[in-house]
Amino acid sequence: MTANTTAAAATAAAPLRLAVVVGSNRDGRVGGVVADWFVGQARAGAWEVDVVDLADTPLPAVLVPPGTSDAPEVVGLGARLAAADAFAVVTPEYNHSFPAVLKHAIDLFREEWRAKPVAFVSYGGMGGGLRAVEQLRLVFAELHAVSMRDSVSFHGVWSLFDQDGVPVDEAGTNAAAKGMLGQLDWWGRTLRDGRAVRPYDV
């Protein structure tokens, strides 16, 4: 067995690294509850999870072109995103779209997103955040990321979790997360293997 074959086998067997981006920094948000539940589901599936909570991640007020900032907070966040094999974005819907802080965080980077899969967990009122997800699909497509077909959405989220942060419909909700994470796992492994063999530079 060659050294390259051994390295490729080790990479394929390694756990996938998932960055869960919590996309709201609004006071009184319910996003923390949703994110905590989802992170639990991911960790139960043996993912290595890094929670990137934008409420705790200071970013510069002025947007600069991707890859040009030397601000420590941007460099640090970029390293975390670059280390991820896959992403899950937890987002509410504000005025039929996603939060400004989330777009700001996305636009600071480019290479970190490329040729990686992205899943979505959305929440809101009657729409369940789905309009935010549809717009995020367009944004990530422009960044050469691959969005998962299935998403998890919480319609009327304020009545869907108990006081301990457990979904009221625990079986159905957990099943939806498991299905989406299965898609993310397939794409995460396939794209990680592909990048290892042939860097994505198109």
Encode pLDDT of 171-198 as tens digits: 999 999 999 999 999 999 999 999 999 9
Question: For residue 116, what pLDDT band results from cuts at 50, 70 and 90?
Answer: very high
Under CATH, which number does the domain 39-197 receive? 3.40.50.360
Domain ranges of the chain: 39-197
Rounded Cα gap, residues 181 and 104, in angstroms: 26
Contact 85, 18 (CB under 8 A): yes
Encode pLDDT of 131-153 as tens digits: 999 999 999 999 999 999 999 99
Q: How many residues does the chain have?
A: 202
Full DSSP string of 123-141: EESTTTTHHHHHHHHHHHH
Question: For residue 7, what pLDDT band results from cuts at 50, 70 and 90?
Answer: low
pTM of the entire structure? 0.93
Q: For the stretch 66-75, what's the b/e string if a residue is b when 16 or more beta carbons lie within 10 angstroms of its beta carbon?
A: beebeeeebe
Percent of the residues in the chain that have a pLDDT greater than 70, as a whole number: 94
How far, in whole angstroms, is CA 111 from its chain's centroid?
15
Q: What spatial distance separates the first Cα and last Cα of the chain, rounded to whole Å?
A: 31
Residue 30 is given by DSSP the state: S
**72 is written with which tokens?**
């420590």
